[in-house]
Amino acid sequence: MHLRRTPEVLLALTAAVALLIPAGCAKKRDSVTNPRSGPAADFSATPVSGDRPLDVDFTDQSIAGTSTITSFLWSFGDGGQSTEHNTGHLYASPGTYTVSLTVTTAEGSDTKTKANLITVSNGPGTSPPNAAFMATPTGGVAPLDVSFTDQSSPGSSTISSWSWKFGDGGGSPDRNPTHRYLANGTYTCSLTVTTSVGSDTEAKPGYITVSQAPVPPTAEFSGSPLGGRAPLTVQFTDQSATGSAGITQWTWTFGDGATSTLRNPSHTYAAEGSYPVSLTVTTTVGTDSKTKPGYITVTGAAVPPTAEFSGTPTSGAAPLAVNFTDRSTPGTSPITSRSWTFGDGGTSTSTNPSHNYAAPGNYDVSLTVTTADGQNTQSKPAYIKVCQTPVADFSGTPTVGVAPLLVQFTDHSTGGATSWSWDFGDGGTSTSQSPSHVYNALGIYAVSLTVRNACGVNTTTKAAYVTVVDACPNPIYSIARAYWTNIVDTNGDGYRTSGRLYWDANVTLTCTKSVFAKTFYRASGDTTWIPAGQSVCYTINGTNSFDVQYNIISGLPRNCYDFRIVLFECSGATEQAVRGPGDDVDLTNQCFEP
């Protein structure tokens, strides 16, 4: 309940004050006996201390001098500023803050600074500890000495105890202990730390590994067959003992200049002779070699042919004519026949044939050559690549919806495209074959797809393909209520010096809209509304009672006023809702003074 002055009381007070003013006190021009004076800045704050976040209200108490104060500049000590007459500020971080106010009139300006005025505390700590540790080494041969290091964080209180478990029945209360492991095995270690707030444990399963002394490998192998006519293919088998670690590398030398790193390789001896064979095996512990002199014996034999060919060109658009060239070697006898297969059903017995590929595709080509000593075939998979220019096509679903609209696009192109380039019409692009895309803004969008392969490029564009509509095209706004908070009555006479005017704005239940409001005032009985302030742009959701905003009202001449609140969309200038003195008792006959 606020004290309000009636017209009769105001008239009586005015008359009484007039009797107290001397007749000679009329306004004088500036002179030596009547000097003009500048302002004297001063202010108050409440509260001046507390836990974060701390909301402080600042009240101007400056003396204007001989001219009216025209501007205010507040500095809150944490980087924040304000130009309002009386303002509020939220301190988010703990600390001590110096606050200053600078006021300006036509006669000059003045600054009032209050050092360390605001104290913001962090509040009591309740953070528990977080256990963490490391050890070195974490593996080795028994007996193994391991040094453990505590890496825990204490939280809001000091760690008061440590409890280690080493996995072999041993433990320690020391912060950074050393422990000796005597037996082979894998051990789980844990650390529990305790503070006045609580305790925490970290366990590391299988953290320490203790092993036996290492044993190097022993190389051994066999081969089959050990003799025969050239070409002789021999299968070699590793028979090595691994020792205490697995074999990681095998190195074979076959005596004819060839080598292998496979575990069980096969090797073909092409020429007659007697060949030594050796195997070297390697583990993390060491290496060992086994050499068998004259292990393989190869006798002379007839040499069959070796098939080889080339074709040109090997790729292009259909129809594609390809010239093939036989590059085979005959061995010990001349080539007597050739058999070509071109992969599309076509064949030839010519030495160097030509073939025409009519349809797109990848084609295997082979050549078989025959002599009196045998025959040989060379096959080249997908040797000829015949392509066609692709034809772009696609679909998307859904193509109509509200923002944000997620559309899944599917490529339906033909002709063997190898790359895709999408343009979604809103600046978005993609190189995926079948991408998805989110449309965030209202509108109608054309979508295009460009596909490419070695034969060419093709683009298709679908105009007005995706339509994004407004989820709330015809919203209905209202201002449900208005009320005052943070009222300051400096001298307790029922006339406020400042106050926060709150309102609760609503919109159609399914809508979410960005709005702002302007506030106006007029003296009771007047008809002209005067702007009092404008809020920031903020979001309202249906009839949520928490969608409130406010303006700070202060600095009004001494009088009683009506108030009016007008709601606007952030992107427009049309009045969407109004609440005035006839709608709310808190918007009529509200008394203020400077």
Provide the pLDDT for residue 25. 35
Kindly report, residue by residue over 474-528, the tens digit of the pLDDT: 889 999 999 999 999 988 899 999 999 999 999 887 788 899 999 999 998 899 9
Same fold, 133-211 and 309-386: yes
Give residue 36's pLDDT.
86
Range in 49-58, 179-188, 189-198 with the lowest mean pLDDT: 49-58
46 pLDDT higher than 90: yes
Per the CB < 8 A criterion, the answer to whether 309 and 367 are in contact is yes
Residue 187: count other Cβ atoms within 10 Å of its Cβ: 23
pLDDT per residue over 545-578, tens digit each? Answer: 678 999 999 999 999 999 999 999 998 899 999 9
**pLDDT attached to residue 2:** 33
CATH code of domain 477-592: 2.60.40.10
How far lies 338's CA from each of 335, 344, 368, 374, in Å?
Answer: 8, 18, 6, 12
Q: How confident is the model at residue 343, as a pLDDT?
A: 97
Quickly list DSSP for 305-350.
-B--EEEE--EEESSEEEEEEE--B-TTS---EEEEE-SSS-EE-S
- Average pLDDT (374-386) is 95
pLDDT at position 215 = 86
The pLDDT score that the predictor gives to residue 8 is 35
Q: Which amino acid is at 241?
A: A
pLDDT at position 541, please? 86
Band of residue 27 on the pLDDT scale cut at 50, 70, 90: very low
Give the pLDDT of residue 32. Answer: 55
The answer to whether 208 and 187 have CB atoms below 8 angstroms apart is yes
Of 32-46, 197-211, 348-362, 434-448, the least confident: 32-46
Cis preceding linkage at 143, omega within 30: yes
Nearest to residue 287, comparing CAs of 245, 339, 338? 245
Site of tokens 């008359």: 15
Q: Which range among 8-17, 481-490, 535-544 shows the weakest confidence by mean pLDDT?
A: 8-17
pLDDT above 90 covers what percent of the chain?
75
Asked if pLDDT for residue 11 goes beyond 50, the answer is: no
pTM over the 0.75 mark: no
Judge: domain 394-469, CATH 3.40.190.10: no
Mean pLDDT, residues 139-160 taken together: 91
Residue 12 has pLDDT above 60, yes or no: no
**pLDDT > 70? residue 28:** no
Q: What is the pLDDT of residue 197?
A: 86
pLDDT at 6 over 50: no
A 10 A CB-CB count for 461 gives 13
Is the pLDDT assigned to residue 222 strictly greater than 70?
Answer: yes
Per CATH, domain 309-386 is 2.60.40.10: yes
pLDDT confidence of residue 34: 63
Distance CA 217, CA 245 (A): 8
- Residue 310 or 211, more confident: 310
Query: How much is the pLDDT for 4?
Result: 32
Topology at the third CATH level for domain 221-299: Immunoglobulin-like (2.60.40)
* C-beta neighbour count of 547 within 10 angstroms: 20
Res 580: pLDDT: 95
Q: Could you tell me what percent of the chain has a pLDDT over 70?
A: 93
pLDDT over 80 (residue 33): no
* Per-residue confidence (pLDDT) for residue 16, from 0 to 100: 35
Q: What is the rounded average pLDDT of the residues 155-175?
A: 94
Domain at 43-121: CATH code:
2.60.40.10
> Which one, of 353, 362, 354, 350, lies nearest residue 318 by Cα?
362
Q: Give the H or E element holding residue 564.
A: strand 559-569
Predicted pLDDT at 35: 77
Whether residue 540 has pLDDT greater than 70:
yes
Mean pLDDT of 218-227: 96
Question: How confident is residue 344, by pLDDT bands cut at 50, 70 and 90?
Answer: very high
Give the Cα separation of 75 and 82 in Å (integer).
7
List the chain domain ranges: 43-121, 133-211, 221-299, 309-386, 394-469, 477-592
- Between CA 392 and CA 22 the distance in angstroms is 97
Q: Average pLDDT of 388-412?
A: 94
pLDDT of 122 above 80: no
Tens of pLDDT, residue by residue over 51-78, are 778 999 999 999 999 999 999 999 999 9
Strand 232-238's sheet: what is its strand order? Answer: 221-224, 232-238, 266-269
Mean pLDDT to the nearest integer, 270-295: 95
pLDDT of residue 545: 67
**Reported CATH class of domain 133-211:** mainly beta
12 or 148: which leads in pLDDT: 148
CA-wise closest residue to 318 among 388, 382, 383, 365? 388
What confidence tens digit (pLDDT) does each residue in 430-451 have? 999 999 999 998 899 999 999 9
Helix (H, G, I), strand (E, B) or coil at 366: strand
Q: Residue 84 forms beta bridges with which residues?
A: none
Give residue 13's pLDDT band: very low, low, confident or very high (50, 70, 90). very low
